[in-house]
């Protein structure tokens, strides 16, 4: 069995466990992003995909997060990864992981200590209806995330020349001293307040503001989902079992990806940089 197939197999077990856990506690979620494409186009994983994505509206996410942060979901082989439990974990997107396969994301060692297949859980928050306010919110988040990334995720492997030397030096300093960076919790708190700023207002859409890797505003805007497209849900097959998806999945995926039924060229396929222990 290939590493990728084994990774997908174990990730699916996490999804099954998360699904059961959520149903038992009336926590609503749905397949999201590439996993939603997989359900519609392949009735399972996109062949080259290496993780599973699900999403929750903020109220459901907070309930889920509170329960898992309390340790209720823990127990071999599953564990929970979030910056509530690991103070320097840089993302607001949390992970449920299993240690059944020793695989690591190729990131700075400020983020190591976590191995194994995972399911990403994306909280969705209200976004303002005013486009200018959306752009302003995104720009502020981008600035905060840039600072956080500089101190917690600097990686020189894709750099060259003097930039590579500079990044390598920064990475070594950060890996030694990052736990002394008193300003990181402040930045996390400021970011969270900005992400959830409009949750007490009646807006027409939600967005994946917790995701840190949008290349620009357009990519972020394409991921904004109208609430009317999340008003009804259906079930779709995924690896022989059924999971919840938005009834208006076509509108959501078309906005985000365009012709999502078309298989992308090899160079356009998005995968994580992973390292298996035996490599």
pLDDT the model gives residue 161 = 84
Which residues does residue 94 pair with via DSSP β-bridges, in sequence order? 121
pLDDT the model gives residue 279 = 47
| Alpha-carbon distances of 100 from 1, 9, 95, 207, 255, rounded to whole Å | 14, 10, 15, 32, 36
Task: Quickly count: other Cβ atoms within 10 Å of residue 19's Cβ.
Answer: 17
Max CA distance (Å), the chain:
54
Walk along the chain (279 residues) and give the pLDDT tens digit of each residue.
578 888 899 999 999 999 999 999 999 999 999 999 999 999 999 999 889 999 999 999 999 999 999 888 766 778 888 988 888 888 999 999 988 877 767 666 677 666 788 899 999 999 999 999 999 999 999 999 999 999 988 666 667 888 888 888 988 899 899 999 999 999 999 999 999 999 999 999 999 999 988 889 999 999 999 999 999 999 999 999 999 999 999 999 999 999 999 998 877 777 666 655 654
* Non-local CB neighbours of 163 within 8 Å, separated by 6+ positions: 156
Residue 73 and residue 35: Cα distance in Å, rounded? 22
pLDDT the model gives residue 273 = 60
Domains of the chain, first to last: 3-125+229-276 (3.30.460)
What pTM does this model have? 0.92
Which residues does residue 124 pair with via DSSP β-bridges, in sequence order? 57
């Amino acid at each position: 069995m290939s590493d990728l197939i084994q990774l997908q197999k174990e990730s699916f077990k996490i999804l099954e466990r998360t699904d059961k856990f959520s149903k038992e506690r009336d926590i609503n979620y749905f397949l999201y992003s590439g996993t939603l494409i997989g359900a519609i186009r392949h009735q399972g994983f996109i062949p080259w995909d290496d993780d599973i994505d699900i999403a929750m509206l903020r109220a459901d996410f907070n309930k889920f997060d509170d329960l898992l942060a309390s340790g209720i979901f823990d127990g071999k082989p599953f564990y929970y990864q979030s910056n509530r439990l690991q103070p320097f974990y840089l993302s607001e997107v949390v992970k449920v992981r299993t240690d059944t396969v020793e695989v690591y994301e190729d990131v700075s060692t400020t983020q190591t200590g976590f191995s194994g297949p995972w399911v990403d859980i994306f909280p969705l928050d209200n976004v303002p209806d005013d486009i200018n306010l959306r752009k302003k919110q995104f720009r502020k988040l981008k600035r905060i995330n840039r600072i956080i990334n500089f101190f917690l995720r600097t990686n020189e492997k894709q750099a060259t020349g003097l930039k590579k030397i500079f990044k390598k030096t920064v990475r070594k300093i950060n890996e030694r001293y990052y736990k002394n960076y008193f300003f990181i919790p402040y930045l996390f708190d400021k970011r969270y307040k900005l992400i959830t700023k409009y949750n007490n207002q009646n807006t027409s859409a939600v967005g994946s503001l917790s995701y840190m890797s949008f290349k620009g505003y357009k990519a972020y805007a394409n991921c904004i989902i109208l609430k009317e497209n999340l008003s009804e849900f259906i079930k779709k097959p995924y690896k022989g079992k059924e999971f919840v998806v938005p009834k208006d999945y076509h509108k959501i995926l078309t906005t985000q990806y365009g012709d999502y039924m078309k298989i992308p060229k090899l160079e356009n396929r998005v995968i994580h940089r992973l390292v298996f222990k035996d490599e």
